[in-house]
Amino acid sequence: MKTYQTNEIKNIALLGSSGSGKTTLAEAMLFESGVIKRRGSVKNQNTVSDYFPVEKEYEYSVFSTILSYEWKDKMMNFIDCPGSDDFIGGVISALNVTDMAMMLIHAANGIEVGTMNQFRYTEELKKPLLFLINQIDHEKADFENTLSGLKEMYGNKVMVVQYPVSSGTSFDAVVDVLKQKMYKWAPGAKEPEVLDIPDSEKDRADEYFQILLEGAAENDEGLMEKFFDQGTLSEEEMRQGIHKGMLSRSMFPVFVASSEKNMCVHRVMNFLSMVAPSPNDVPAPKNTDGVEIKPDSNEPTSLFFFKTTVEPHIGEVSYFKVMSGKVTEGDDLVNINRSTKERLSQLQTVAGQIRNKVEVLHAGSIAAAVKLKDVRTGNTLNAKEINNKFDFIKYPEPRYRRAIRPLAESDTEKMSEVLNRMKEEDPTWIVEVSKELKQTIVSGQGEFHLKTLKWRIENNDKIEVEFLEPKIPYRETITKAARADYRHKKQSGGAGQFGEVHMIVEPYTEGMPVPEVFRFGGQEFKISVRDTQEVELEWGGKLVFINSIVGGAIDARFVPAIMKGLMQRMEQGPLTGSYARDVRVIVYDGKMHPVDSNEISFMIAGRNAFSTAFKQAGPKILEPVYDVVVSIPAEYMGDIMSDLQGRRGMIMGMDSEKGFEQLKARVPLKEMSNYSTTLSSLTGGRGSFSMKFASYELVPADVQDRLLKEYEAQKEEED
């Protein structure tokens, strides 16, 4: 294989909603380029892109797949991304290491929610974009309606380069506005006939050409001057203008294709090889120190690993982008994240399972390495004495969570190993072994996301598992001040145990002053602050401990034991056993014995005094509440709003975005358990949502009563 320089490399993310035909298009491109001799199909489960067993099982792309081929003296690296929102992690990874995106639009379905979500990511990352209206031969295909939807959504930046003479089952010809030619396929023909544009299409073609011509000229002063002087530009000059327009996202070229019949695919491939940006055309990424690292082969070597898979008969395959410098087979590099050395003994360009050995890769290249010792997704490998580290991929918050456990308890450790390995393959899976909930919680992007995880564990790793409703990490707090004391006294021969603690508890908010006097039952308790400790709790909130002991009632050496007792009770709140938070404790008095007092006595006394005071201080249960943003077609707004309100959600606002609505709400986590399934059912799969932790809020009285009863019943069962 030829060695490609940075300006000869094209890295492109292949995007589109599920069913838009990305995998079929990828198959056609690999066939055209000669990588494969025979085209597979999703139906026959023999495509290059969807080759994992779970993808064949569901006939669905689960992983992003790197597909590299040589074309017109260029190295074309495509990353075929899953279309479902449940696997958005693959899209985000791909967009962060590629230099442009090609968005497939199903000619019958038009703009879908998945299209909009993926477009937003291209916008956030400022990636050049090309639209390909695919399946133009579908019986319900409607080019004009699809184009109208694109222009309505994305404005006049959408510019036609190709359009079909007719769409639907009669599709057999396209007009290429840039080349000013018509391509027509005879029945059964593999290659089109190249013809002049017929008179019947002249006006339409001229209109699109003029728009494209002006759009290309606007992106370059020299081209604009020539356009004003001569009234036109050459095809090569227009390509230059389109290239610059794509880089600035002021132009989104539109092509059409039938990838299943391999019609127009060759033309799109040619266009991309000439016009798509190379890594050195786009803004350079920054390392974690904020320094731009340009894709220059003459600079020291840095590799960023953005994807990991575990494949049969091979083991772990690590995919990387050469951020700077060049890498040669046999190079020794340093893993900056793990402080280990790695030898890259095998470098490969890949097209799914097809691998080609390569000896040297220049800056901008995307490739794979196998049998590395200690490399994880997100790691950076550098030449010696180089300290680049990259952390630019930001994944969305999870939206669906389940507790998972093996049916055979003996498989617990093995299941944990498998889950950690799978997290390396898809960083949007979050695995947490919760000490608080006594469950292993798996969080992901949706029900189908976790369904595929379960399928893989059971079919690939032969571990039977089940999903359970996850417990909710409630919190406990108090709403008023209360006082209590407790004496621990125990005599069992020899030295006894004695400790007595008097304390006041009150709800704590940041910056609140300490009262000089508390009044309880007609008595006054004066506070003299001797020492204050603020503890930032691991589970959120604070415990503030004030030592107000005067006159040596309790020796200073026993104060840490009282604090230890408090923390034990904070870790298992008096109401439901949930963590407690946002409490201020003032220990103001107590007693000790010259012989029998010890640390354990004061730990027990402190714990029990706190428990008594807590229960008298208007205790309340807090629940986690999330900010939820739902994107839906406008016609579903009423149903979605009613559903969220039925989940105790508080509507926070609405935004409109050209036919789609964004509904913002705050919803308790307890009520979001099956939301992804419900949303899909209510919108026919056209809705999507995101959720992010907002705060802990008081639960309603009826919910608190139910939780207390459930906890009491659980304790009775355990006893």
Q: Is residue 356 a part of any domain in this protein? A: yes
Range of the domain at 431: 400-471
**Same domain? 185 vs 219:** yes
The pLDDT of residue 658 is 62
**Same domain? 203 vs 104:** yes
CA distances from 426 to 115, 255, 304, 309, 445 (A): 21, 32, 16, 9, 11
pLDDT of 45 strictly over 90: no
CB 13 within 8 A of CB 98: yes
Query: What are the phi and psi torsion angles at 373 (to 5°)?
Result: -75, -50
**Same domain? 612 vs 626:** no
pLDDT of 59 strictly over 80: no
pLDDT of 316 strictly over 70: yes
CB atoms within 10 A of CB 714: 12
Grade residue 719 by pLDDT with cuts at 50, 70 and 90.
low
Dump pLDDT digits (tens) for 613-665.
Answer: 999 999 999 999 999 999 888 889 999 999 999 999 999 999 887 667 899 99
**Same domain? 188 vs 324:** no
Mean pLDDT of 287-316: 92
Q: Is residue 179 a part of any domain in this protein? A: yes
Q: CA 219, 225, 228: angle at the middle one, nearest 5?
A: 105
Tokens 């899953």 sit at which residue? 82
> Which of 566, 598, 618 is where one domain is finished?
618
CB 109 within 8 A of CB 136: no
Dump pLDDT digits (tens) for 553-609.
Answer: 999 999 999 999 999 999 988 889 899 999 999 999 999 999 899 999 999 999 999
**Same domain? 137 vs 255:** yes
Kindly report the average pLDDT of the chain as a whole number: 93
**CATH number of the domain that residue 334 is part of:** 2.40.30.10
Which two three-digit tokens encode residue 493?
A: 């021969």
**Same domain? 436 vs 481:** no
**Same domain? 247 vs 103:** yes
The pLDDT of residue 715 is 80
**Same domain? 604 vs 668:** no
**Same domain? 367 vs 241:** no
**Same domain? 77 vs 218:** yes
Give the total number of structural domains in the chain: 5
Q: Is residue 669 a part of any domain in this protein? A: yes
Q: Is residue 290 a part of any domain in this protein? A: no
What percent of the chain shows pLDDT beyond 70?
Answer: 99
Least confident of 71-85, 307-321, 450-464: 307-321
The pLDDT of residue 27 is 92
* Spatial separation of the C-alpha atoms in residues 245 and 228, rounded to whole Å: 18
pLDDT of 678 strictly over 70: yes
**CATH number of the domain that residue 567 is part of:** 3.30.230.10
The pLDDT of residue 240 is 95
Q: Is residue 295 a part of any domain in this protein? A: no
The pLDDT of residue 495 is 77
**CATH number of the domain that residue 673 is part of:** 3.30.70.240
CB 93 within 8 A of CB 307: yes
Dump pLDDT digits (tens) for 322-338.
Answer: 999 999 999 999 999 99
The pLDDT of residue 659 is 62
Burial 438-460 (b: 16+ CB within 10 A, else e): ebbbbbbbbbbbbbbbbebbeee
Q: Is residue 86 a part of any domain in this protein? A: yes
The pLDDT of residue 160 is 97
Give pTM, 2 decimals: 0.85
Nearest C-alpha neighbor of 590 from the set 656, 508, 504: 504
pLDDT of 241 strictly over 80: yes
What percent of the chain shows pLDDT beyond 90?
Answer: 79
> Which of 618, 652, 683 is where one domain is finished?
618
The pLDDT of residue 113 is 78
Dump pLDDT digits (tens) for 440-468.
Answer: 999 999 888 999 999 999 998 999 999 99
Q: How many residues are listed for the chain in this entry?
A: 719
Q: Is residue 683 a part of any domain in this protein? A: yes
The pLDDT of residue 687 is 83
Dump pLDDT digits (tens) for 173-227.
Answer: 999 999 999 999 998 888 999 999 999 999 999 999 999 999 999 988 899 999 9
> Which of 435, 455, 471 is where one domain is finished?
471
**Same domain? 51 vs 192:** yes
**CATH number of the domain that residue 443 is part of:** 3.30.70.870
**Same domain? 200 vs 61:** yes
The pLDDT of residue 297 is 96
pLDDT of 517 strictly over 90: yes
pLDDT of 341 strictly over 70: yes
Grade residue 311 by pLDDT with cuts at 50, 70 and 90.
confident
